[in-house]
């Protein structure tokens, strides 16, 4: 199981570092590379912050920085052999909810490109969420299932 935890930890850490680099570019060069926000899996948090503040800023969300630093720490601890599989599953599941709400809202409202996101614009962010969130989460569930079935891990 340790091998699988380390693999998951590397994946989580690499995604977190990629997000942090993305956020640096979005903050420093937003005028030239603003379109990179499509690769932000925490875009749902940006939407929530916009709603709460009643004004639209520029991506990324302020909370996204803290989230990715936390994810990086979680990944590093898994690489070092700490069994943080259950906390990762809980955290990543909760952190994916704002994106799902954002996705559902865009699809339900069917906004045109003139008024914000259109459903067609969700393809790239959705693929990014699948690669950066769903795949490692599915792998974590697989690890839980596999080692629970063998009696090597309790999910309680």
pLDDT tens column, 69-102: 999 999 999 999 999 999 999 999 998 888 888 8
Cα–Cα distance between 16 and 66 in angstroms, integer?
10
Percent of the chain with pLDDT over 70: 86
In this prediction, residue 152 carries a pLDDT of 52
C-alpha separations of 80 from 74, 110, 141 in Å: 10, 45, 20
pLDDT at 134 over 90: yes
Query: Region 27-43: what's the mean pLDDT?
Result: 85
Reported pTM: 0.80
């Amino acid at each position: 199981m340790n091998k699988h935890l380390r693999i998951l930890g590397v994946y989580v850490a690499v995604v977190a570092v990629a997000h942090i680099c993305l956020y640096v570019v979005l903050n420093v060069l937003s005028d030239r590379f603003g379109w990179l926000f499509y690769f932000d899996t925490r875009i749902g948090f940006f939407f929530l912050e916009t709603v709460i503040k009643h004004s639209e800023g520029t991506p990324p969300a302020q909370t996204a920085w803290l989230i990715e630093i936390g994810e990086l720490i979680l990944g590093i601890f898994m690489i070092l052999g700490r069994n943080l599989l259950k906390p990762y599953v809980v955290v990543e599941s909760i952190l994916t909810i704002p994106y799902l709400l954002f996705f559902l809202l865009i699809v339900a409202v069917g906004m045109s490109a003139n008024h914000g996101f259109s459903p067609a614009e969700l393809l790239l962010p959705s693929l990014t969420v699948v690669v950066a969130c769903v795949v490692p989460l599915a792998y974590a569930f697989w690890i839980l299932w596999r080692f629970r079935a063998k009696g090597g891990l309790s999910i309680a």
